[in-house]
Amino acid sequence: MNNLYVISGVTGMTGNELARQLLKQNDKIIGFDNFFASSIDTVRDLSGNEDFEFYEYDINNKEQMQSLKEKVRAKKGSYEQLIYINCAAVVHTEHFYHIERTFTTNVLGMKDFLDQAIELGADIYINCSTSEVYSMASWSEGGVKESDYLIMANAEHSQRTSYATGKLLTEFFMKDAVDKMLIKGCSIRFANVYSKNELYPKHIIPHILHSLAETNGEVVLLENSKKNKRTFLHNSDSCSAVIALVQSPDALDGTVYNVATEEEISIVDLVGLCAKYLGISDPKITFSGYRASDPERRLLNTEKIRSRTNWKPQVSLDLGIQQCVEALRR
């Protein structure tokens, strides 16, 4: 028998790719999104698929979540496992500063969705957290580990940290529910996920590609980018990590998993890589603006997920950027 997946934020970057990977395994998906940061376009091609059910619902709307619950209750008996994946969130950099919206969706919404999963007797809940919880201590020799102590920027430094603190709280809800044996599950700390279809122009990869392509070789970066380095995870790899965890019952102990690549690149070199595949030989970078509480590096140690599942990233940054350039040219 196949599994029934309930996915919040299913039209977002992670949600829609996850749905695609699960449909290939013949699983059933009930997904919803309120289009806060996405649109129906990302799943339009799935509309004829009887294993993909979509609702325009808001995770904070009690009536809509009640309706979702009834739909899941009616279907769950026909499937081997019922699995909840929480992808809905107020995510992107500019929204990090909107504390109330971030708290309502990312914390209260996550908790209500978890409570629903528990009430319906779901087998697994996967909580999408973030590597932003490492805040200003985002790297160390060999990468930061899940067990490392967290050192956060505080409100005096930047309201941006509200996103990370909210996500951190969800990790405790997850752990508590598993410790009480109400459900199995875990939290995932993703780092800088990108996709060739990414809609959000303020994320660094689409920003660089669009700027270079539209101005024939010019891009404006924050002053932080003179020093910053990052790793970038292709969204097919972030989603295969979710599936690998779901398929590894011993890993679903309520704890946290770093999910990232170890392929670190400076933002300046990233511009060079994007320019190379756009056929631009000498990109011009201008530095302007500064973002407070932005770590210079974000390098995660991924030994934990690699040792507990068979997951490892498959798409190199080089290949991923080539895909992004091809998508941009279409």
| Minimum gap (Å) between residue 32 Cβ and ligand NAD | 6
Closest distance of CB 284 from ligand NAD, Å: 27
Smaller CB separation from ligand NAD, 127 or 211: 127
Token digits of residue 189: 């700390």
Q: 3 or 102, CB closer to ligand NAD?
A: 102
Shortest Å, Cβ 61 to ligand NAD: 8
Give dist(CA 48, CA 44) in Å, integer.
9
**Measuring CA to CA, which residue among 322, 42, 296, 88 is closest to residue 205?**
322
* CB of 136 vs ligand NAD, minimal distance in Å: 17
Q: Give the residue nearest to ligand NAD (CB).
A: 12
Residues interacting with ligand NAD, by CB under 6 A? 8-9, 11-15, 33-38, 58-60, 87-91, 105, 109, 128, 130-131, 190, 192-193
Closer residue to ligand NAD (CB): 92 or 284: 92
> What three-state secondary structure class fits 129?
strand
Closest by CA to 81, choosing from 156, 135, 22, is 22
Cβ nearer to ligand NAD, comparing 73 with 98:
98
CA distances for 284 relative to 55, 150, 227, 326, angstroms: 44, 37, 17, 22
Under 8 Å between Cβ of 56 and 38: no
CB of 280 to ligand NAD, least distance (A): 25
Task: State the DSSP code for 138.
Answer: -
- Closer Cβ to ligand NAD, 35 or 287, answer by number: 35
Q: Which residue has the tokens 């914390």?
A: 107
